[in-house]
Structure 1
């Protein structure tokens, strides 16, 4: 995985570059101190994933994320920040962020979450999830109550096995219901489903 780190704190950048660079499957191809610098480096290096801070000079992480997603829709962007409030979380997800982690997360957790992100899984830190209040619209149009329960579990980042255990359903039933839900909402996969859930507000 080719990774770009974006943060205006040079100490944070260097630390992440060293620690994540020790992972055999992660190559830190560059660091940027602003959104504008990140845009230039992405054009030059074409990374697989970006670790993006929110508060930066010249262009903040949310604005940069929105711009990068327009230019490179397949690029996976993980917000990495100290902000753990609903406004920043929702703004980041609406801008196109694929994941949201806190800087307090352990390096091993960051590495694993980045791998999950690149493989196509939406990632929300559990502490971040707790900070998000229930969306304004409590129902998902066209879905049964049980289907809505499954969508909420997917939005929390639970696997099919975890969903089946939580809702007392078989793995096969969860898979079948997920397929039905995706068809009803005209979405491609569970990643889109999770982002769809959090963008409704």
Structure 2
């Protein structure tokens, strides 16, 4: 059973999310929070698999609450609830440890799928938000040679990381690099360990920060 805490300062939003999730097999809403401070407290008390976290909340915003939850309860993962006009927060949310983003106007199946994905230890890169996120921190021309932080990777691992940063699935990486999906997964596991990455979202951010790829490519 995947346990979920809903953190949003609007009661109608919390009620709506609960109505959707309460009818889903394998998902249980175990708590709610109306502000960031309460979200941190409830997460500590209930240790849910996933916290659906609004970005803008009173007392403690979603970014600060995410930092505290991720730092203190590593088993709990945070899925940010955001709107189109809040993309300025996306990069900071990933840096805070969020495992992905969900638009508040997403469909039921997208919400459920995102929760299951995050609970399983993967990350959610919403196609409508990924490019806007990455456009915010392009670092200019790529450096000559291999970025220092990535020198611990093999050539093949860097190629896999580059494909991940471009949004490719494991199957697409397999086809592009002429590798089996099992080999792709092995390379992903190795580069994740070497770079101390949390998940796929963190891998994308790291690739762009290091200049391996750039927005618009």
Aligned to 2:191: 181
Q: Which of 8-17 and 85-94 deviates more? A: 85-94
Q: How many residues align?
A: 198
1:152 aligns with 2:162: yes
Counterpart contact for 1:93–1:195, Cα < 8 Å: yes
Aligned: 1:68 with 2:78: no
Unaligned runs of 5+ in 2: 210-217
1:87-145: CA deviations, max 9, x gaps?
Answer: 31110000111111211221111111111111110111111112122642746432566
RMSD, matched Cα: 2.6
Matched with 1:44 is 45
Alpha carbons 2:4, 2:50 under 8 Å: kept: yes
Matching of residue 136 in structure 1 with residue 139 in structure 2:
yes
TM-score where L is the length of structure 2? 0.78
Other-structure match for 2:213? none
Q: Cα distance 1:41–1:118, how it changes in 2: closer, same or farther (>3 A)? A: same
Specify whether residues 156 and 110 from structure 1 end up closer, same or farther in structure 2 by C-alpha distance, changes over 3 A only: farther
CA distance in 1 between partners of 2:161 and 2:43 (Å): 33
> TM-score scaled by structure 1?
0.84
Counterpart position of 2:202? 195
> Which residue number corresponds to residue 81 of structure 2?
80
Residue 172 of structure 2 corresponds to 162
Q: 1:160 to 1:84 in 2, by over 3 A?
A: farther
- The change in CA–CA distance for 1:90 and 1:104 in structure 2 (over 3 A counts) is same
Instruction: Name the CA distance, whole Å, in 1 between partners of 2:93 and 2:36.
Output: 14
8 Å contact kept, 1:150–1:163? yes
The alpha-carbon deviation at position 57 of structure 1 amounts to 1.1
